[in-house]
Amino acid sequence: MERDNSFSMAELCKLVEMSPRTIRFYITQGLVDAPGVRGRGAKYGAKQLEQLLTIQKWQQSGLNLEAIKRLLQQGDSPEQLLPRDEPGTIKIWSRITLASGIELHIQPEMAQLTPQQLRQLNQTIQQWLAQQEKNHD
């Protein structure tokens, strides 16, 4: 028996860890193909799943939605659209010492993290490292 490769909005949201609102926005912006049937019975296929995963991957690489749209429309390679540092560019990096010899370097703007989120990330990592040290004793 062949598996049905279609997903409801709820299933698609769970697979890509996005909200329905985000997915609908991407559809209205032409980044993701609309389902054949609209409304409550709408089904999304492997193509929409692949498009959403591609958008996620490119966003995590530092591309904004405008660059992603150009990529999808023109078929450019993502490397051509990645932000490039020009001479004289100033960027702020956060350097977090996690343990002796272990540092985490983050560019908060590119990672889209607030100072509060950075502090929470640091606390979570510190707790994890403490637990690992405890487990090895």
> Which one, of 58, 65, 64, lies nearest residue 79 by Cα?
58
In the prediction, which pLDDT does 2 show? 41
The answer to whether 9 and 39 have CB atoms below 8 angstroms apart is no
User: What is residue 27's predicted lDDT score, i.e. its pLDDT?
Assistant: 92
Report pTM: 0.54
Q: What is the pLDDT of residue 87?
A: 81
pLDDT of 102 reads 82
* Cα 47 from Cα 19, distance rounded (Å): 18
Backbone angle region of 17, left / alpha / beta, with phi > 0 → left and psi within -120 to 50 → alpha: left
Cβ neighbours of residue 46 under 8 Å, at least 6 residues apart? Answer: 5
Tokens found for residue 114: 């607030």
How far is Cα 84 from Cα 80, in angstroms, rounded to an integer? 9
Handedness of CA 119, 120, 126, 129 (dihedral sign): negative
Query: pLDDT digit of tens for each residue in the chain (137 aa)?
Result: 344 678 889 999 999 999 999 999 999 998 999 987 777 778 999 899 999 998 998 888 777 888 888 887 776 555 555 566 678 777 778 888 887 888 888 877 767 777 888 888 888 888 888 888 888 77
Q: Are 98 and 104 in contact (CB under 8 A)?
A: yes
Q: CB 31: neighbour CB atoms within 10 A?
A: 19
pLDDT at residue 76, rounded to an integer: 53
pLDDT at 82: 57
